[in-house]
Amino acid sequence: MDDCIFCKIVNKEIPSTKVYEDDKVLAFKDISPEAPVHIVIVPKEHIRSTNELNENNASIVAHIFIIINKIAEEQGIKDSGYRIINNCGEHGGQTVNHIHFHLLGGRNLSWPPG
Ligand code: AMP
Ligand code: ZN
């Protein structure tokens, strides 16, 4: 997708601080962190949001959660706990229209998020 910031990060047209990469997924540090650990995990495929998930493409979500498990261990937050957030659409607070999961940890996160 030409004007998608996360596609540009995946294609290395925009720099990011990479945390994990494989053939299907890229994880990088959020540019505006809300917690000591704040990592964004994206599929390399341009899927706009959770609204576009279906039987053909949703297996990527299971893969992403397995990767999050690994990243949480590497970041030292597996035992203390963490939060995974997927914002969808305007009311969900989605600002980048390429599906992504926030991994937040390293402090006690408030609930509800507001
Ligand atoms: P959302 O509001 O769920 O769409 O989240 C988008 C996230 O992407 C925000 O937390 C931004 O801080 C983050 N973000 C935007 N541009 C970049 C970038 N160039 N590098 C890293 N993170 C970014
Ligand atoms: Zn994209």
pTM of the model: 0.98
User: Is 93 touching ligand 1 by the criterion CB < 6 Å?
Assistant: yes
| 92 CA from centroid of ligand 2 (Å) | 18
- Catalytic site includes residue 100: yes
User: Is 34 touching ligand 1 by the criterion CB < 6 Å?
Assistant: no
Averaged pLDDT, 43-64: 98
Averaged pLDDT, 87-100: 98
pLDDT tier for residue 2 given thresholds of 50, 70 and 90: confident
The string of pLDDT tens digits covering residues 63-79 is 999 999 999 999 999 99
User: Exposure of 67 by Cβ count < 10 A (0-12 exposed, 13-18 middle, 19+ buried)?
Assistant: buried
| 41 CA from centroid of ligand 2 (Å) | 12
| Domain edges within the chain | 5-105
Return the pLDDT at 19.
Answer: 98
CATH superfamily, region 5-105 = HIT-like (3.30.428.10)
Higher pLDDT, 113 or 94: 94
